[in-house]
Amino acid sequence: MLTVVPSSAGDAVQASEGLTLQGPQRGGALGDLWSDWSEHYRARGIDPDTITRDGPADELVYREAKPRIVFVLKDSNAWPGHSLTEAMVPRPFRMMIMVARWSHGLLHDFPALESADDPANQIAAIRQVAAVNLKKRTGAATAVAQDIEAFAFQDQALLLRQLLELQPEILVACGTWGPLTRLLALSPEPGSRMVRDSHTGALVLAFRHPARCGRLRSYERLKGLIEHARAANV
């Protein structure tokens, strides 16, 4: 059976530049995070106004969700100064409709696709999850792999801090399996599509980007990954 092992509040993660992160944090930690991200970019000559914020669509609802799910994406498309959550609530649009469909499946043990296609169910599901870009600086219509890798490495400490604060139980790497597993210092078996993260205890799944897959096939493939994880007791 699929089990979730949450991280301990006292766990520490060793990040880049010798920084030790304690997590998770409470009481305005996400607000402080974005202030720190702005300073981090400013120190590197990057305009902090180019940041697209991200995270839970509705933090209070996300905290109560079972399981807590974070979709790890690449970057946003020409959306400086905004938040990715604006594409999630009050109702999902564009590729976030696909994320909402997957969210409904993960939260409700994958009922028939018709249930996940229901707009009301999608609205309810998307409010319970978080979406995180590895590259916070706004991008273009097509993400550049080298840029995603460079920003994931440059922002390692802050990305780890963000993930620790979110306390995910499932991390869905949406076209980000390589940079995400490197960020988390994981060593999945060659060809594997899942691994357990030692930092958060989350099950990490390799999956497609929501803008690059079909609704039925992707829904069934994600269902299959979860079934495999349960059977293998990952």
pLDDT per residue as tens digits for the range 33-55: 999 999 999 999 999 999 999 99
Give residue 30's pLDDT: 61
Asked whether 24 and 9 are in contact (CB, 8 A), the reply is yes
What is this structure's pTM?
A: 0.86
The mean predicted confidence, pLDDT, of the chain is 86
When pLDDT is averaged across residues 100-113 and rounded to a whole number, the result is 98
Strands 170-174 and 69-73, sheet pairing: parallel
Q: Which domains does the chain have, with CATH numbers?
A: 24-232 (3.40.470.10)
Give residue 151's pLDDT: 94
Dist. CA 202–CA 234, nearest whole Å? 10
Nearest one of 169, 173, 203, 198 to 185, comparing CA atoms: 198
Across 32-41, 113-122, 131-140, 223-232, least confident range: 131-140
Asked whether 101 and 136 are in contact (CB, 8 A), the reply is no
Helical packing angle, 145-154 and 156-166, nearest 10°: 80
Sorting pLDDT into bands at 50, 70 and 90, what band is 4? very low
Sorting pLDDT into bands at 50, 70 and 90, what band is 76? confident
When pLDDT is averaged across residues 170-186 and rounded to a whole number, the result is 96
All residues at 6 or more sequence positions from 4 whose CB lies less than 8 Å from its CB, including other chains: 67, 169, 170, 201, 202, 203
Stronger pLDDT, 143 or 173, i.e. the higher one: 173
Strands 203-207 and 55-56, sheet pairing: unpaired
pLDDT at 62 over 90: yes
Look at phi and psi of residue 189 and say left if phi exceeds 0, alpha if psi is from -120 to 50, else beta.
beta
Give residue 7's pLDDT: 33
Q: What is the 3-state secondary structure (H, E, C) of 159-219?
A: HHHHHHHHCCCEEEEECCHHHHHHHCCCCCCCCCCEEECCCCCCEEEEECCHHHCCHHHHH
- Residue 187 phi/psi, 5-degree rounding, is -130, 75
- Residue 209 phi/psi, 5-degree rounding, is -75, 140
Give residue 198's pLDDT: 87
When pLDDT is averaged across residues 104-130 and rounded to a whole number, the result is 98
Question: Is the alpha carbon torsion for 64, 69, 73, 77 positive or negative?
Answer: negative
The half-sphere exposure of 205 on its side-chain side, counting CA atoms within 13 A, is 25
When pLDDT is averaged across residues 97-106 and rounded to a whole number, the result is 98
When pLDDT is averaged across residues 1-12 and rounded to a whole number, the result is 34
When pLDDT is averaged across residues 165-183 and rounded to a whole number, the result is 97
Spell out the long-range contacts of 216-221 with Cβ–Cβ below 8 A and sequence spacing 24 or more.
216/113, 218/98, 218/102, 219/101, 219/102, 219/105, 219/110, 219/113, 219/116
